[in-house]
Structure 1
Amino acid sequence: MERVDRLTLQQLRYFLAVADTKHFTKAAEQAGVAQPSLSKQVQSLETELGTPLFSRVRGNVTLTPAGEVLLPIARRILADVDTAHHEVAELVGLRRGRLRVGATPSLCASVFADVLSRFHKAYPGIRLLVEEGGSRDLSRSLLRGDLDLALIIVPPEGPDPALTTRVVLREDLLVASAASLPPLVNRPTIRLIDLRDRSMVMFRQGYDLRETTIQACRGVGYEPRLAVEGGEMDAVLRFVEAGLGVAIVPSMVLANRPALRGIPIAPPGLSRTVALAQRTDVPPTNAARAFSDVLLAYLETL
């Protein structure tokens, strides 16, 4: 077995050339090598296998029983190698492959869907696997190797040092309320202290906007009064539309939501930083690089 493990693809190609032409000189011409070099490689193959592969009698070259056994195996091996080269070339050329990407629910509800659509149109052969979750969960998925890229919200203390991040968006946060109810204030902006006596709709535990909202309220001296909590972005927006309370949300999620009214927060306001993250110790795939380019190009149009 150890001898067979030292077979080379070149030896198999030369073997097939001789088997097909039944002539060493013609086989060498077909392979584009000198006849002595081809003969030497075939002899090395026979030595490795421990048996002659060709019978050479009076200029006639025929396969021995061992050669007959090797012939279909060699064809299959070389065909598999050619297939492997082709498939890897397709992957490198972004014709096939897989990309695992993640984003927070608020980003999935706003920019992410359009970016995915653009990427799929440009690279239809790349299969997209999407994970929706909070930034902490997405960061853990990246570090486990379950994701290639993720759009995360950069926490105040900064991203995990094991991740490489690129800031792609800074987004203002607004106070959302039901458009069917009277405006919260008769001013163009609202102060956080104005929400002291307002019921709030709160995101689930571990959600980035939950922490942002609670810390902002505590920063001006009060604990938010929660009417309902525990939802993802779509649920929170629907609860606000129903008049259950107000919520602090990214400005982008209010697009195409006529049942909601958004009012900016008075200076210094609130904002969040969105970054594209990946593992530092793993170089990005070609598909990941292409996705980054599509994302940045799309954000430039906003």
Structure 2
Amino acid sequence: MELQQLRYVIAVAETNSFTRAAERCLVVQSALSHQIARLERELGGRLFERTTRRVRLTPAGEAFLPAARQCLEAAERAAAEVAAALGEVRGRLAVGLIPTVTAVDIPGALRDFRLRHPQVRVSLRVGASDELAEQVREGTLDVAFLGLPATARPRGVGRHELSRERLVAVVAPDHPLAGAPSADLRRLSREVFADFPAGTAGRAQTDQAFTAAGLTRDVAFEVTTADYIASLVGPGLAVAMLPPAYAERLPGVVALEVSDAPVRVQHVIWSRSGRTPAATAFLTVLGVPVPEADGR
């Protein structure tokens, strides 16, 4: 069994096509098909069902794929560790971030990182804080940027607090509150809200603040992206509460302070076990103090 064969299997599984997999791997299709057939003979079973219309994994292929990914990742990590011991950072850096991260200039940090370590391949994944934290724990992501309520702490990962900020209210330009210097939660509780889905970290900080104040609110619109929340606020369909630095960048809405606003804490997190040289180098670029070996 060879690493290149594993790469070919993964490419076919992800593209559902021998042709597209060969294009991705920069190899002729006949060579890719030959190597996969050779691997199947060695394993004693078919990994793919092939028809004229589709390619899909067999049950044996479904069982083989996670282990193939783990083997390939382990091999790449081993090569990266050797390179790091020789003074060169290379390999893969998988970064997760919430859409509203403002404590760090992500493009600027990646520019500085790439200037120092041009051999590293970088992948970015945008998602919700809870999902990103789980992916760091699983090892799918190396580093992630989260936004959490002040009462929450990421568990099972290394972490560094980046900033604390009070959310602001965001309203339409013609809303009665648009000209007010500030508002409070009691006044806002009379409004219709757009917010993140119930149970997510992005929603929790605001829900907790209203509950602590003994208030309820009407969240008529649940949205998975902050940009689309603003799209509902602008026409006057709803109001929202968002981080101030993010709200400042939104066109067509007005932000105002909230006297008893909830606090959001931004964190950067990383895996406590198996931190890659690329992840350590990226955290160094961010100025994050990282111990030589994270404890559990």
TM-score range, shorter chain: 0.5 to 0.7
1:293 to 261, 280, 284: 284
Q: Indicate the SS of the match to 2:101.
A: helix
Q: Indicate the SS of the match to 2:273.
A: coil
- Does the C-alpha gap of structure 1 residues 163 and 220 become closer, same or farther in structure 2, counting only changes over 3 Å? same
Aligned-residue offset at 1:229: 1.4
Q: Indicate the SS of the match to 1:106.
A: coil
Equivalence map 1:170-181=2 (5 Å)? 170-179=164-173, 181=174
Aligned-residue offset at 1:156: 4.7
Deviations 1:14-59 (CA, angstroms, capped at 9, x unpaired): xxxxxxxxxxxxxxxxxxxxxxxxxxxxxxxxxxxxxxxxxxxxxx
Could you tell me which residue of structure 1 aligns to residue 207 of structure 2? 214
Tell whether 2:220 aligns with 1:227: yes
Aligned-residue offset at 1:90: 6.9
Query: How many pairs does the alignment contain?
Result: 211
Deviations 1:161-207 (CA, angstroms, capped at 9, x unpaired): 4212111122221111122x145165422101111211111212443
2:83 to 86, 89, 97: 89
Could you tell me which residue of structure 1 aligns to residue 183 of structure 2? 190
Farther-moved stretch of structure 1 (237-246 vs 92-101): 92-101
Deviations 1:31-90 (CA, angstroms, capped at 9, x unpaired): xxxxxxxxxxxxxxxxxxxxxxxxxxxxxxxxxxxxxxxxxxxxxxxxxxxxx9899437
Distance 1:92 1:251 in 2: 44
Aligned-residue offset at 1:155: 4.5
Does the CA contact (< 8 Å) of 2:81 and 2:277 recur in 1? no
Structure with more helix by fraction: 1
Tell whether 2:161 aligns with 1:167: yes
RMSD: 2.9
Could you tell me which residue of structure 2 aligns to residue 98 of structure 1? 92
- Does the C-alpha gap of structure 1 residues 108 and 88 become closer, same or farther in structure 2, counting only changes over 3 Å? farther
- Does the C-alpha gap of structure 1 residues 87 and 135 become closer, same or farther in structure 2, counting only changes over 3 Å? closer
- Does the C-alpha gap of structure 1 residues 86 and 259 become closer, same or farther in structure 2, counting only changes over 3 Å? closer
Q: Which runs of 5+ in 1 are unaligned?
A: 1-83, 298-302
- Does the C-alpha gap of structure 1 residues 237 and 87 become closer, same or farther in structure 2, counting only changes over 3 Å? same
Q: Indicate the SS of the match to 2:167.
A: strand
Could you tell me which residue of structure 1 aligns to residue 273 of structure 2? 281
Letter in 1 for 2:183: I
Q: Indicate the SS of the match to 2:223.
A: strand
Q: Which runs of 5+ in 2 are unaligned?
A: 1-77, 289-296
From the CA coordinates, give the structure whose radius of gyration is larger: 1
2:132 to 126, 129, 138: 138
What TM-score, normalized to structure 2? 0.62
Distance 2:258 2:150 in 1: 19
Distance 1:277 1:211 in 2: 19
Could you tell me which residue of structure 1 aligns to residue 118 of structure 2? 124
Letter in 1 for 2:98: T
- Does the C-alpha gap of structure 1 residues 91 and 128 become closer, same or farther in structure 2, counting only changes over 3 Å? farther
What TM-score, normalized to structure 1? 0.61
Q: Indicate the SS of the match to 2:182.
A: coil
Aligned-residue offset at 1:120: 3.1
Letter in 2 for 1:207: T
Distance 2:255 2:86 in 1: 45
Equivalence map 1:34-73=2 (5 Å)? none
Q: Indicate the SS of the match to 1:105.
A: coil
